[in-house]
Amino acid sequence: MARMKFLCDADRCIECNACVTACKNEHEVPWGINRRRVVTINDGKPGERSVSMACMHCTDAPCASVCPVNCFYTTADAVVLHSKDLCIGCGYCFYACPFGAPQYPKTGNFGSRGKMDKCTYCAGGPEADNTAAELDKYGRNRLAEGKLPLCAEMCSTKALLAGDGDIIASIYKERVAKRGYGSGAWGWKVAYKETIAI
Amino acid sequence: MSIKKSEAPDGAGQSRRNFLRAGLGGATVAAATAGVAIAPAKASENDAEKKKARYQETAHVKKFYQTNRY
């Protein structure tokens, strides 16, 4: 069984933010919510690196561990999804997530939070596949259409990889072997408890 | 004593209760059937459906892997 993973090749990311824009557009994500974002470290200094980050769909997801209403579930291909019908917007998952993935829409003027929103790996949610209800709540279900997450598919420098973890790891290994250096698979140790040995 | 007197069934009291019981029961059944008729088709997936693997290694996905190897 294929295990879905994200891998950002930080040596290729040019911080264009196209993945962020594509995600927002594809899923009709409301204002103030970014399911994906590009983080730049050492900005403007030698060794600057940009990494495109979103929910990494962790193996032992901390968000699911702390959820008081148990709204998270992991699919057979290891995509961590949640039910907005069950979510109470408590915010525990936001504090538990090592990647800052969970986002909350602002629903009032007094800091009240709405239902949590996060990257779905373009796999929708618990509503029936590719229905209007699913699109409205969770966005497009590209995985059910035989595609991969749009952020990775349209990355111009092919920095962001998505798909079967073994295949994208082999692609990354080939790149590192060819160019002679690599800054590692960001987030893999935290999310998947593994690193890519070259 | 007076209560006992009024409770003493002469047939009329009993039949009134039966009428109400039948009426309420009928109303409940009617509401239930109306509820079934009105309820929208369930859009949510069951537990097995929502956890099933959606990833397929289609030609589209294979092309993605191929272009990423360049």
Tell me the domain boundaries of chain A.
Answer: 4-192
What DSSP string runs through A129-194?
TT-HHHHHHH--B-GGGT---HHHHT-TTS-EEEEEHHHHHHHHHHHHHHHS-----TTHHHHHS-
Q: Which residues of B touch A121 (CB under 8 A)?
A: none
Residue A69 vs residue A113, higher pLDDT: A69
State the nearest Cα–Cα gap between A28 and chain B, in angstroms.
20
Q: Residue A62, Cα to own-chain centre: how many angstroms? A: 14
State the nearest Cα–Cα gap between B31 and chain A, in angstroms.
26
CB of A142 within 8 A of CB of A149?
yes
- Residue B36 is predicted with a pLDDT of 45
- Residue A109 is predicted with a pLDDT of 80
Say whether pTM exceeds 0.90: no
CATH fold label, A4-192: Alpha-Beta Plaits (3.30.70)
Chain A nearest-CA residue for B60: A147
- Residue A62 CB burial class (10 angstroms; 0-12, 13-18, ≥19): middle
Show which residues on chain B lie within 8 Å of chain A, measured between beta carbons.
43-45, 50-58, 60-61, 64-65, 67-70
B5 confidence band (pLDDT: 50, 70, 90): very low
Quick check: A5 pLDDT over 50? yes
Mean pLDDT of all residues in A185-191: 93
Q: What is the tens place of the pLDDT at every residue in B18-70?
A: 666 665 555 555 444 544 444 455 567 888 888 999 999 999 999 999 999 98
Nearest to B55 among A4, A74, A134 (CB): A4
A157 confidence band (pLDDT: 50, 70, 90): very high
Chain B nearest-CA residue for A150: B64
A137 confidence band (pLDDT: 50, 70, 90): very high
Residue A106 vs residue A96, higher pLDDT: A96
* Complex confidence, ipTM: 0.91
State the nearest Cα–Cα gap between A163 and chain B, in angstroms.
8
Cβ distance A126 to B56 less than 8 Å, yes or no, reads: no
Q: Number of CB pairs < 8 Å for A and B? A: 72
Quick check: A123 pLDDT over 90? yes
Nearest to B53 among A77, A126, A168 (CB): A77
- Residue A183 is predicted with a pLDDT of 85
- Residue B34 is predicted with a pLDDT of 47
